[in-house]
Structure 1
């Protein structure tokens, strides 16, 4: 029985700044290719051409295209943890609901501006996940975010809210994928509806989950 390859890590671990620069260039090239032609048409050869490196260099870091896609999804996940979650504090957001909407803002910006993100996201929908994992990346993101919320808003956020965050993020992710399917600008109606549905999902069952001063959106969904 053949063991599964190790998950998510580059084939050749960068140990020097030059190696790190090479890896960054390869992933940047891959993201631009995915943005241009889609994840299905990504090849190791195209990554080499786009980055200016030889195909041998590409294979030094990544066994095949599936490992490249997996690395891109992990990069998106790492960026979310590094760039978005540190801003989840009461100083920046007075209520947990404000903090949650800032995460919705983050996803919308990534879909609109980050090359390849709308195709890759956290990689759970791709047939490129390497090795066995106990949970999806979106579940990991939701768990980390929920933990951050609980640490910063312990008197406000209840267990019921934390358990529903994963579904709320899945709703937003799925509808944003549809909203940006055919346009870099996105379908503004779908984007607005996505925000409202995700927020309403968290707040509809028990209004006491809302912090003082927070209100769930009251505008009706736009008609089709």
Structure 2
């Protein structure tokens, strides 16, 4: 069993947050280009100072084109976070499909490596991640890390006989929250990722293997 991917376009349509839904390939490509531009701006300056004008300038588009799809910068950030989640799921699925993954320990190690790769290579990911860093209230949905941890537990239940319990879910969620925080710090202080903090995050996730109950 793999974690069910949520392609960015489908996720955006389902979320019903876009002002205009692309109906042609050219429009879809334009939307993708705007998200790419937003990711690059965030990579350079962080998400807190992101403006729709900066995205338009980076994409070589008019500000009207940005507003055609995104009513404001918050919706733009949410949209990019949905795409980040899609790419994270794809990376995790690929990691879990590796023949070297034979038990919970190797699965957790592979997932950690997949997330480190995203922090290192995906523009803007180290800042925005899955969107949980955005302090938007009232909260409209459960945190992305809660959902992802539950989906990973479902994989572990099916493949490795781990029990489907709230305790096991909490163990995984705590491990991934710790990893997320340490990786965020690792790449904030070193663009290539501070090795000591990356290793600390991976160790926190690895420790969860012995705590998961069958």
State TM-score, norm by structure 2. Answer: 0.84
Counterpart mapping for 1:61-80 below 5 A = 61-80=69-88
- Is this contact kept in 2: 1:118–1:180, CA < 8 A? yes
Deviation readout 1:125-179 (Å, 9 max, x if unpaired): 213579721x10111111111112222222xx23444441111110100111111
RMSD over aligned Cα atoms: 2.3
Shift of 1:84: 1.9
Cross-structure match for 1:119: 127
Q: 2: distance between equivalents of 1:190 and 1:91? A: 27
User: Are 1:166 and 2:169 matched, yes or no?
Assistant: no
Cα distance in structure 2, aligned partners of 1:64 and 1:47: 12
Over 3 Å counting, the alpha-carbon distance change for 1:114 and 1:86 in structure 2 is: closer
How far does the alpha carbon of each residue in 1:24-52 deviate from its partner, in whole angstroms, 9 at most, with x for none? 10000000000101111110011111111
Residue of structure 1 in register with 2:42 after alignment: 34
The runs of 5 or more residues in structure 2 that have no matched partner are 1-13
CA distance, structure 1, for counterparts of residue 138 and residue 69 of structure 2: 15
TM-score normalised by length of structure 1? 0.81
For these two proteins, the number of residue pairs brought into alignment is 199
Unaligned runs of 5+ in 1: 1-5, 210-224
**Deviations 1:94-143, CA, capped at 9 Å, x for gaps:** 1122111111111111111111001100111213579721x101111111
Q: Which structure: larger Rg?
A: 1
Match of 1:146 among 142, 148, 153: 153
